Structure 1
């Protein structure tokens, strides 16, 4: 749309000379700001594309390094290297999904998903870390099928699982099970018996870069995992609830949308 009104429309307004000048200045200001905004959008998109390209370049050597672990005979050294590799992999994965988050509406596909394979895959991916800490899992039947995006759901579970493993004591268990709430919605619970979250930290754990009391004691904490998980969950209709008590651990619950809630989410 042209930023300047046509002469016929301008004349119909019967502007005074002062109003005419003022009106023209306003139009010029809006035109310049629109140009600046469009340029900023182009720069952000270019930066996003460059960042995605960089992440994909990094993933290639990470995959190659992971394959090399099979040739390391020293089991203790191998596990240490696998654990450090996993930390790096999770950081790169967070960056990848953070970059994609702004275009999630174009990058999600809601369909019927079986929970069990996704959860088991994420647990296997954390195996090196779990072996190092002696973390085990008590897992329910997980027979539920939910309506969601499998790729983004896996990312959410990955962030919650990594948090549970990070703050769990050695030789402890993480419990994963499902149930239904009073509305019939599926609930996925992930429970640890770690240090728990202080009451003052609880309302802020999903804020960007917020590491909290526990995070300040750990060099591994970036404060981005739960922030990204919360944002993704909101976009695909999942609600995350947290119950926690210091010294007794934390319970993260994912509530999946019902059919009518799913219809509102997708506009169908």
Structure 2
């Protein structure tokens, strides 16, 4: 609150009081009182008026200053009406009561929305898990006899499972809470499981794989890392280049802040593992590359592939952000796409 704003607000009341003073002075002058006799009265009245407004201004300014200091000290700003007890007049008390009731109503609505969201997430997770059971049963039935029709069924079941995982992680990503468990993870085992999940997709598209023999372990959430890798592998196969044998190359570099190179078996504390997944697919155009992690963005490739939802890489970025994992991409249209995942390496003491 500044002085200019205050005096602008008080201009009308002060003007009214000055006009009343002038009217009273004229009346007294008409009764025969001289201007010399009226001067002390006028000066006393004007001095009192100015002093009263100055004191009121400083009181108001200190009042709002205390409010600002308290608001700044609170981590959860919406709790301000619950802790502020500084109302010093009936007008301030009235505004305070109104603000407190509004905040109480807002908190009740927020709690109800949180409860509905938790119920929705629980139902969503239950639905996904219930759907996975018949998918597993159908996969076992279709896998008993290896023929073209059954392989096609297994491929579609893999796609269904992939979409269910997307739905599950989308529901979790919208929640303020997460069940991530950071622990030691065998990176190579996670990659093998990812390839096993996409087995039919890789076989039927005749994808050539190149994976290093040794990969250092990392600290991560195993399920989340599996989801991220699964999405990257799925995209690498989906957006392949027509007329060329699909190839996916997984490599790893150790970064220690000063230099990088192929892993030599050393696990120095503070090192980072740069896991690189590269394909020889259709690539991403330069104008689309900066936006591939945006929610719902499909780009030129997505418009050509109508099954694209623009949610896969968005979820990967959001999950990696919550886990403190670096995720980036590089690409050249018509040549390659490479996704880089930066994870902390296990340290051996």
Query: TM-score, with normalisation over the residues of structure 1?
Result: 0.87
5+ long unaligned stretches in structure 2 = 1-78, 258-270
Alpha-carbon distance between aligned partners in 2 of 1:123 and 1:190, rounded to the nearest angstrom:
13
The reply to whether residue 172 of structure 1 matches residue 230 of structure 2 is: no
Q: Which has the higher contact order (CA 8 A, sep 6+)?
A: 1
The reply to whether residue 244 of structure 1 matches residue 343 of structure 2 is: no
Secondary structure at the residue paired with 2:100?
A: helix
Query: TM-score, with normalisation over the residues of structure 2?
Result: 0.68
5+ long unaligned stretches in structure 1 = 261-268
Report the alpha carbon displacement of residue 71 of structure 1 after superposing the two structures with TM: 3.3
Q: Sort the Cα spacing of 1:104 and 1:121 in 2 relative to 1 into closer, same or farther, 3 A.
A: farther
Alpha-carbon distance between aligned partners in 1 of 2:112 and 2:182, rounded to the nearest angstrom:
33
Task: Give a deviation string over 1:129-183, Cα, whole Å, max 9, x none.
Answer: 1122111101112331111111111111111111111112352211011111252
- Aligned partner of 1:265 in structure 2 is none
102-111 or 194-203: bigger deviation? 102-111
Q: Does the CA-based 8 Å contact 2:217-2:345 persist in structure 1?
A: no
Q: Sort the Cα spacing of 1:142 and 1:98 in 2 relative to 1 into closer, same or farther, 3 A.
A: farther
92-101 or 37-46: bigger deviation? 92-101
Structure with the greater alpha carbon radius of gyration: 2
- Aligned partner of 2:312 in structure 1 is 225
- Aligned partner of 1:55 in structure 2 is 128
Q: Sort the Cα spacing of 1:258 and 1:117 in 2 relative to 1 into closer, same or farther, 3 A.
A: closer
Secondary structure at the residue paired with 2:329?
A: strand
- Aligned partner of 2:98 in structure 1 is 25
Alpha-carbon distance between aligned partners in 2 of 1:14 and 1:121, rounded to the nearest angstrom:
67
Q: How many residues align?
A: 254
Q: Does the CA-based 8 Å contact 1:114-1:146 persist in structure 2?
A: yes
Q: Sort the Cα spacing of 1:238 and 1:142 in 2 relative to 1 into closer, same or farther, 3 A.
A: farther
Q: Sort the Cα spacing of 1:127 and 1:29 in 2 relative to 1 into closer, same or farther, 3 A.
A: same
